[in-house]
Structure 1
Amino acid sequence: MVQSLNTAQITPFHQKVKSPLTKQKITVLQINLGRRCNLACTHCHVEASPKRTEELSPEICEQLIEIINRFEQIETVDLTGGAPEMNYGFRPLVEAAREKGKEVIVRSNLTIFFEPGFEDLPEYFARHQLRVVASLPCYLQENVDKQRGAGVYNESIEAIKKLNQLGYGNDPNLILDLVYNPGLPVSNSFSLTPDQQKLEQDYKEYLNERFDLKFNNLFTITNLPIGRTKQYLQRRNLEKPYLQFLEENYNPVTLPQLMCRNELSIDYLGNIYDCDFNQMEGLPAKMKNGKNLTVAELLKAESLDVIEMIQTASYCYGCTAGSGSSCGGSLI
């Protein structure tokens, strides 16, 4: 669906929402373990790469384990990066969370399985019953390699085969989800992400017929104008038109399901944000007294529910356009 753009200014998101966007009970911790990655994808909002060295410290890791142990209300620990598996703290956090009976999500690029020292990851994932959310931005090789680098598609297919052999996609305790990202626009003829259910069916049919692969769910995620995507759009003078397009497609029905409502996003320094996108744009979560929130402050407060108002920006239109977008795919 392509919309014509107008030349009006972008409405501040908090004005569009009209009533304040407030937190609900926190049930999800999403932890960015660092920016080290074996890939450097063109759409990466984290701007991760093999050259990045930022990662979790032992001190912050211990604080996070204390939070996992202390707060029963946490249902899910969502580990991301970079390639989370490459950064300090990955396995200690997995094991602490699983010991407390939490669901653990690992956001994997799949190709990490073929890096020296990480060959045991598929078995490790299965042993700890991790939910794998894996980037495969298209089921066609040309589109994947264009976004993520030559050879990534073939390695991703081989990685899914390994996971399938261990029971992923079949065993109800071994969930494998794939993530679709649209290609970056080359002009101002923008379009929303495709219908998630229909595209999931297309993925399943193609991957099953071509490679005999199985997976559970497909998540469609809108490219937000932050990180490398923002830089790409700015180079082509497309950032403002793209934001206008997202605003034109704003859908208030998405608001109750936004991932920022019940999630804390934590960076490798222990700073806390309402979502991963705010983290990448340096927009910290605020306590009721206006102070920036950290993991240490949570422990001191003995509560996860210390945020009243969610911090918003113009890129929030990316999560609320059309069917909505989140780390778990479309919202409606």
Structure 2
Amino acid sequence: MINQIYNLPNKVINPFSQKINSQLTKKNINILQINLGKRCNLSCNHCHVEASPKRTEELSPQICEQLIELIERFPEIQIVDLTGGAPEMNYGFKSLVAAARKNHKQVIVRSNLTIYFENGFGDLPEYFAQNQVRVVASLPCYLADNVDKMRGNGVFTASIKALQWLNQLGYGTDANLILDLVYNPQLPNSEKFSLTPEQSKLEQDYKLFLKENFNVVFNHLFTITNLPVGRTLFHLERKKLYSSYLQFLESHFNESTVEHLMCRDQLSVDYLGNVYDCDFNQMMNLPAKTANGENITVAKLLAAGSLNLIDEIQTADYCYGCTAGCGSSCGGALL
């Protein structure tokens, strides 16, 4: 784990491992999250993956086959969570969907919505519906200006069109076609930091506004804190806000969130087949390790015939982002 002590004005930021005062260990693994690569049609200013149209890193056929074997061999994996980049653009996407559905697992695709309007991807909404893929779609605000500032000009309009398309197919109303939205706060430009709004209240605001203005419906809203990773980290450093943002997150640490952290029951895998405790550790190159300190790969999981090779979850300063206030995870607030 990374143990760093930050000397900040008027305060010392303590290592996260000291804050929780115990070893953070895995529960039973039931989620396999796969980052298929960094290729994306967008280049959002808060992206912790640093994905963009210029990136070429993606899954290889060899690693894809290993992941399919992992999905087939381990019934305890209940959810296969596909992310990127735009996961749909990267090698192996439909092969992994097919393998997961064949083995009766729920599939989540973390979609930016605008990909449906790119050449070669217009079949995706119907494909998702046919395979009962759960769509978790990024819509960091229900106001156009805020979305376009974070994600690029025209993204809000395209996202609304995509949501209307999904609604026409039954998403948001059919019990088998789940459509969730993801809220991210605007990146701070001063030390006036704030936690994410209360999730259930903001969900109602989203639902009312989108229904009244665009006749869009969806199932759930997930509020996700911007962790100081990737482009969010670079932004904070440019604005000289990194240390004060860490101090803010640490000062709002909520011990009750620790039991529910997403790293407890999932494995995160990158396009090279390396295993991590979570997607943020993946982006910060902090791999999951065995009891003797060896890095874990998909190949090692298959050779061992077990998903339970991790001795202790690797933690770092940005873990305060997942434990501040009501907590944050890929599934939204923790409390």
TM-score computed with the length of structure 1 as normaliser: 0.98
Cα offset for 1:7? 2.5
Cα offset for 1:308? 1.8
Question: Does 2:179 align with 1:180?
Answer: no
- Give unpaired runs (5+ residues) of structure 1: none
Cα distance in 1, alignment partners of residues 210 and 9 from structure 2? 40
Q: How do 1:145-156 and structure 2 match up within 5 A?
A: 145-156=148-159
Cα deviations by residue, 1:131-161 (Å, 9 ceiling, x for unpaired): 0000000000000000000000000000000
Out of 239, 243, 252, the position equivalent to 1:236 is 239
Out of 75, 85, 92, the position equivalent to 2:95 is 92
Question: Does 2:106 align with 1:109?
Answer: no
Out of 119, 122, 133, the position equivalent to 1:119 is 122
Partner of 2:132: 129
Partner of 2:327: 324
Q: How do 1:173-322 and structure 2 match up within 5 A?
A: 173-322=176-325
Cα distance in 1, alignment partners of residues 41 and 129 from structure 2? 22
Say which SS state the counterpart of residue 69 (structure 1) adopts: helix
Say which SS state the counterpart of residue 9 (structure 1) adopts: strand
4+ residue segments displaced more than 4 Å:
none
Aligned residues with identical type, % of pairs: 69
Cα deviations by residue, 1:27-54 (Å, 9 ceiling, x for unpaired): 0000000000000000000000000000
Q: CA RMSD in A?
A: 0.7
Q: Contact 1:161 / 1:213 at 8 angstroms: preserved in 2? A: yes
Amino acid at match of 2:15: P
Cα deviations by residue, 1:227-253 (Å, 9 ceiling, x for unpaired): 000000001110010000000000000
TM-score computed with the length of structure 2 as normaliser: 0.97
Cα offset for 1:6? 5.4
Question: Does 2:65 align with 1:62?
Answer: yes
Q: Contact 1:6 / 1:244 at 8 angstroms: preserved in 2? A: no
- The number of equivalent residue pairs is 328
Q: Contact 1:43 / 1:184 at 8 angstroms: preserved in 2? A: yes
Cα deviations by residue, 1:168-225 (Å, 9 ceiling, x for unpaired): 0000000000000000001011000000000000000000000111000000000000
Cα distance in 1, alignment partners of residues 76 and 193 from structure 2? 40
